[in-house]
């Protein structure tokens, strides 16, 4: 494709620069400056590009190319799905695989790597030598070479009008908001708020291209602006204070007298497995690192070492901080919760369980159905939902590693749940008349978290879930400010957030409730100590549940993210849960066959 004198474009999208005649060092001009092709290439070059595109489109049904698209012949495009909007370009030596979808006016510059499930909005410009990597090899089996282990992919989504500098790395699961800018050399491991300028390794917000309070400018839903600048300012102040104080929060719960040094939930509390996991998640949220009290690999090795090889479960610690000798089984509620908290703590650390969770996934489909039928579905529904949560999470770890029968068990559990969902409430079970809908809603959160949310599946009756949750949230016994606790508020926030992915039913009421609960939650923080499980209030002063600790801090931090996201302000926080309370699916259900 030869460079020629300027060709007049009747509809130029910017001032026309002069392009030099061909010389020895610029014979591939358009391969490296593809945005100039349709304005300056000669007719033969244009015709050749269109013929190549037509040839490829005829043999690749997953491809779609808009007007004035240019793809360098020196690029390597191995994508099964390639969608390029009008005036989008791929430069020389770019490497594209899997599923790449780009809007209009996007440029994928020279030597850029775009792999996995990638979605780019309109006007996304990607600098040279940048990598968008929307996949990961699992590391759950230490005896199997990493390259032989299963691959997971959550995908990367880039909003509109995003500028990505050179030598940037964006990792799987990241969403970048509209009008954001990623500085050269940034390593982006977490979501980037709309309008933010981020840089560093790991990337952090450096300043704002568009102020976060401007809901319309940042591309947030109208609800964000309606939430008001006061709430935005309170969110920003909270996260700044929390980041500054979290090292003290963790130090407060560190007990060096326990074996090898351990975290406890709060000073004086007995040793527990969960405290180690909560500390890891809190540090990841606010510090983007493992707790500094021990090296990350040491913390991961200890957690993995506590897993029982026979059952795959992790027993509770005894009073001295050593693993219990009692072999756990699937009736052990504490060991069951460790399937969640230990598994995700290892995941956050970049590791995983060394053994499959055979206490759950090693059972037959008949065993699972019998157990599901025997659970308490009237009255004490929360425990039933918690049990399903553990089954789903055990499958979350075992399906990707190819444990025999795990996919069949997942189909069995999901089929049972889908058929048994109550069309009137959208949930499972019924109340006994003493606590309103508390048990049903809380049980729904646990059951849906470990199944529908974790595997990215649609709820059977999302509108009814919204109706039931809003009605429950009007009960003053659980939601007056002095009566709130992290469990009850989480168990409202997550169902509304999950159902909101499918429906806008009663959206204004959902936003109003989330705004009120978010305002309350921001007032629950105790300086240098964190959150208590129960909200502090003069009427409850002295109750153990109000004393700040790691469990309350981890849970309320996740609650705040969910509520902020419901009102369109999660970008202000600059963090996104990656552990037990992660919002996006952890594993996509494998296709049949």
Same domain (yes/no): 479, 568: yes
Better pLDDT: 197 or 225? 197
Phi, psi angle pair for 42, to nearest 5°: -80, 175
Report which of residues 33 and 332 the model is more confident about.
33
Could you read off the pLDDT of 394-447 as tens digits, one per residue? Answer: 999 999 988 998 999 999 999 999 999 999 999 999 999 899 999 999 999 999
Whether residue 134 contacts residue 117, with contact meaning beta carbons closer than 8 Å, is answered with yes
Q: Are residues 322 and 441 in the same domain?
A: no
Torsion sign (Cα): 480, 502, 396, 422: positive
Q: Are strands 151-152 and 136-137 parallel, antiparallel or unpaired?
A: antiparallel
What's the mean pLDDT in 124-146? 86
Q: The domain that contains 177 carries what CATH number? A: 2.160.10.10
pLDDT above 90 covers what percent of the chain? Answer: 72
Position 11 pLDDT exceeds 80: no
Q: Using DSSP bridges, classify how beta strands 262-263 and 254-255 pair: parallel, antiparallel or unpaired.
A: antiparallel
538 and 493 housed in the same domain: yes
Given a cut of 60, whether residue 1 has pLDDT beyond it is no
Residues 590, 579 share a domain: yes
Residue 327: which pLDDT band, with cuts at 50, 70 and 90? low
Report the chain's mean pLDDT, rounded to a whole number: 89
Q: Which pTM does this prediction carry?
A: 0.67
Same domain as 425, residue 559: no
Full residue range of the structural domain in which residue 263 is found: 255-355
Residue 135 lies in a domain: yes
At 105, the pLDDT band (50, 70, 90 cuts) reads very high
In which band, very low, low, confident or very high, does the pLDDT at 287 lie, cut at 50, 70 and 90? very high
Last residue of a domain, one of 460, 482, 497: 460
Number of domains in the chain: 4
Residue 27 lies in a domain: no
Residue 593 lies in a domain: yes
> Comparing C-alpha atoms, which of 118, 61, 65, 69 is closest to residue 91?
69
Please give, one letter per residue, the 3-state secondary structure of 220-265: CCHHHHHHCHHHHHHHHHHHHHHHHHHHHHHHHCEECCCCCCEECC
Task: Please tell me whether residues 302 and 397 are part of one structural domain.
Answer: no
Whether 340 and 233 map to the same domain: the answer is: no
């Amino acid at each position: 494709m030869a460079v020629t004198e300027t060709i007049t474009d009747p509809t130029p999208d910017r001032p026309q620069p002069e392009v030099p005649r061909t010389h020895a060092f610029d014979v591939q001009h358009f391969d490296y400056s593809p945005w100039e092709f349709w304005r300056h290439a000669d007719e033969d070059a244009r015709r050749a590009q269109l013929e190549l595109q037509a040839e490829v489109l005829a043999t690749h049904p997953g491809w779609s190319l808009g007007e004035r698209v240019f793809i360098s012949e020196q690029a390597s495009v191995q994508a099964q799905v390639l969608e390029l909007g009008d005036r989008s370009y791929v430069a020389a030596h770019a490497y594209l695989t899997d599923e790449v979808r780009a809007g209009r006016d996007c440029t994928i510059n020279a030597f850029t790597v775009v792999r996995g499930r990638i979605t780019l909005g309109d006007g996304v410009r990607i600098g040279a030598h940048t990598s968008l990597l929307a996949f990961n090899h699992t590391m759950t089996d230490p005896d199997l070479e990493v390259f032989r282990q299963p691959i997971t992919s959550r995908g990367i989504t880039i909003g509109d009008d995003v500028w990505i500098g050179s030598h940037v790395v964006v990792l799987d699961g990241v969403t970048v908001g509209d009008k954001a800018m990623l500085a050269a050399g940034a390593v982006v491991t977490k979501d980037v708020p709309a309008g933010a300028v981020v840089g560093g390794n790991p990337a952090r917000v450096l300043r704002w291209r568009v102020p976060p309070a401007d809901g319309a400018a940042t591309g947030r839903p109208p609800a964000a602006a309606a939430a008001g600048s006061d709430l935005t300012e309170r969110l920003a102040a909270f996260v700044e204070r929390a980041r500054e104080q979290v090292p003290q929060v963790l130090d407060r719960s560190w007990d060096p007298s326990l074996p090898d040094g351990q975290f406890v939930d709060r000073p004086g509390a007995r040793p527990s497995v969960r405290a180690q996991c909560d500390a890891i998640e809190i540090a990841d949220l606010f510090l983007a690192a493992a707790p500094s009290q021990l090296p990350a690999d040491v913390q991961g090795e200890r957690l993995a070492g506590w897993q029982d090889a026979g059952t795959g479960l992790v027993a509770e610690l005894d009073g001295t901080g050593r693993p219990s000798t009692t072999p756990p089984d699937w009736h052990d509620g504490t060991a069951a919760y460790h399937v969640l908290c230990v598994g995700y703590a290892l995941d956050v650390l970049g590791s995983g369980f060394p053994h499959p969770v055979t206490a759950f996934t090693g059972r037959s489909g008949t065993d699972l159905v019998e157990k599901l039928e025997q659970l308490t579905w009237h009255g004490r529904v929360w425990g039933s939902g918690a049990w399903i949560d553990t089954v789903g999470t055990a499958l979350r770890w075992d399906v990707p590693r190819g444990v025999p029968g795990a996919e069949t068990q997942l189909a069995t559990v999901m089929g049972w749940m889908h058929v048994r969902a109550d069309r009137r409430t959208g949930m499972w079970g019924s109340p006994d008349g003493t606590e309103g809908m508390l048990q049903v809603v809380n049980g729904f959160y646990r059951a849906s978290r470990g199944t529908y949310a974790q595997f990215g599946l649609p709820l059977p009756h999302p509108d009814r879930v919204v109706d039931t949750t809003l009605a429950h949230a009007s009960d003053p016994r659980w939601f007056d400010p002095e009566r709130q606790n992290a469990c009850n508020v989480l168990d409202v926030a997550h169902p509304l957030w999950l159902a909101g992915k499918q429906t806008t039913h009663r959206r204004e009421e959902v936003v109003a409730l989330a705004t009120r609960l978010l305002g309350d939650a921001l007032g629950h923080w105790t300086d240098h100590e964190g959150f208590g499980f129960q909200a502090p209030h003069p009427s409850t002063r002295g109750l153990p549940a109000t004393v700040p600790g790691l469990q309350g801090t981890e849970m309320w931090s996740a609650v705040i993210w969910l509520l902020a996201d419901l009102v369109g302000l999660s970008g202000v926080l600059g963090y996104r849960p990656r552990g037990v309370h992660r919002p996006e699916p952890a594993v996509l259900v494998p296709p049949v066959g």
